[in-house]
Structure 1
Amino acid sequence: MRLSTRIGLAVGCTVPLLVAASGWLLLNLVGRDLHRVEDDHLRQRAAAVAPDARALLRATENGRPRAADTRERQLFTAALDVGVRVVGPDATYSGGPQPGTSVRLPDRVTGPVTVRAAGRSWRVLSRPMQGPAVSGTLWVFSPDTADRAQLRAVRRRVVLTAVLAAPLSGLLAWGLASGASAPLARLTRRTAGLDPRTSAARLDHRPTGVTEVDELAATVRTVLARYDEQAARTAEALDTARSFSAAAAHELRTPLMSMGTNLDILAAHPALPEPDRTEVLTDLRHEHARLLGLLVMLRELGRGDLVEAEAFRTVDVSEAADAAVAEARRRAPDAGITLAAPPGLTVHGWEPGLRLVLDNLLGNALAHGRDPRGRARVEVGVRGAGDQVVITVDDHGAGVPAGSRARIFERFQRGPDSAGSGLGLTLVAQQAALHRGSVTVTDAPGGTGARFEVRLPSGGGALPGRRDWLIGTAGANRSQSFAKDRP
Structure 2
Amino acid sequence: MLRSLRARVAAAAVVTVALVLVVAGGLLLRGDAVQRGEELDTALDRRVDALSAGDLQDLPTDGDRRGPHHRFPRGDEFVARVLDGDVVTAGHRDAGFLPAGEQLGFDTVPGPGGPWRVRTAAGDDGTLVQVAAPLSSVNRGAFETRRRALRLGLFGLLLTGLLGWAAGGVALRPLSQLTAAARRVAATRDLSTRMPPRAGPAEVDAVADSLDVMLGRLEESAAGTTTALEASRRFAADAGHELRTPLTSVRANLDALARNPDLPPAERARILADVTREQDRLVGLLDALQALARGDASPPPPEPVDLAEVADAAVERIRAGHPGLAVELAAGHEDLTIAGSADGLRIVVDNLLLNAARHGRPDGTVRVRLERDGADCVLAVDDDGPGIPVPDRSRVLERFARGAAAAGPGSGLGLALVHQQVRLHGGTLAIGDSDLGGARISVRLPRAGRSPRR
State the TM bucket, normalised to the shorter chain. Answer: 0.5 to 0.7
Separation (CA, whole Å) in 2 of partners of 1:188 and 1:436: 37
Out of 362, 370, 382, the position equivalent to 1:382 is 370
Out of 382, 385, 388, the position equivalent to 1:397 is 385
Amino acid at match of 2:380: T
Contact residue 441 and residue 450 of structure 1 kept, 8 A: yes
- Name the SS for the 1:212 alignment partner: helix
Determine which structure has greater relative contact order: mean sequence separation of CA pairs < 8 Å that are 6+ residues apart, divided by chain length.
Answer: 1
Q: In the alignment, does 2:232 pair up with 1:241?
A: yes
Contact residue 353 and residue 431 of structure 1 kept, 8 A: yes
Q: In the alignment, does 2:277 pair up with 1:286?
A: yes
Separation (CA, whole Å) in 1 of partners of 2:406 and 2:252: 22
Contact residue 349 and residue 460 of structure 1 kept, 8 A: no
Q: In the alignment, does 2:206 pair up with 1:218?
A: no
Q: CA deviation at 1:260?
A: 0.8
Identify the residue that residue 453 of structure 1 maps to in structure 2: 442
Q: CA deviation at 1:316?
A: 2.3
Unmatched 5+ stretches in structure 2: 17-159
- Superposition TM-score, scaled by structure 1 size: 0.54
Report the RMSD for the aligned CA atoms in angstroms.
Answer: 3.7
Unmatched 5+ stretches in structure 1: 13-170, 464-487
Q: Deviations over 1:240-262 (max 9, x none)?
A: 22121111111111111111111
Out of 411, 414, 420, the position equivalent to 2:399 is 411
Contact residue 319 and residue 343 of structure 1 kept, 8 A: no
- Superposition TM-score, scaled by structure 2 size: 0.57
Out of 314, 317, 329, the position equivalent to 2:307 is 317
Out of 360, 368, 386, the position equivalent to 1:369 is 360
Q: CA deviation at 1:396?
A: 3.0
Summarize the alignment of residues 180-195 of structure 1 with structure 2, pairs less than 5 Å apart.
182=172, 185-186=175-176, 189-191=179-181, 193-195=183-185
Contact residue 305 and residue 341 of structure 2 kept, 8 A: yes
Contact residue 348 and residue 460 of structure 1 kept, 8 A: no
Q: CA deviation at 1:203?
A: 4.9
Separation (CA, whole Å) in 2 of partners of 1:185 and 1:290: 62
Amino acid at match of 2:210: T
Summarize the alignment of residues 416-427 of structure 1 with structure 2, pairs less than 5 Å apart.
417-427=407-417
Contact residue 293 and residue 420 of structure 1 kept, 8 A: no
Q: In the alignment, does 2:300 pair up with 1:326?
A: no
Q: Deviations over 1:280-330 (max 9, x none)?
A: 11111111111111111111111222234x623443222221222233233
Q: What is the total number of aligned residue pairs between the two structures?
A: 302
Name the CA shift for 1:366/1:189 in 2 (closer, same or farther; >3 Å): closer
Name the CA shift for 1:189/1:313 in 2 (closer, same or farther; >3 Å): same
Out of 215, 218, 228, the position equivalent to 2:219 is 228
Separation (CA, whole Å) in 2 of partners of 1:238 and 1:260: 31
Amino acid at match of 1:215: A
- Name the SS for the 1:290 alignment partner: helix
Separation (CA, whole Å) in 2 of partners of 1:404 and 1:193: 50
- Name the SS for the 1:454 alignment partner: strand
Name the CA shift for 1:413/1:180 in 2 (closer, same or farther; >3 Å): closer
Q: Deviations over 1:350-371 (max 9, x none)?
A: 332221110101111222223x
Name the CA shift for 1:365/1:188 in 2 (closer, same or farther; >3 Å): closer
Percent identity over the alignment is 41
Q: Deviations over 1:219-254 (max 9, x none)?
A: 212322332333233223222221211111111111
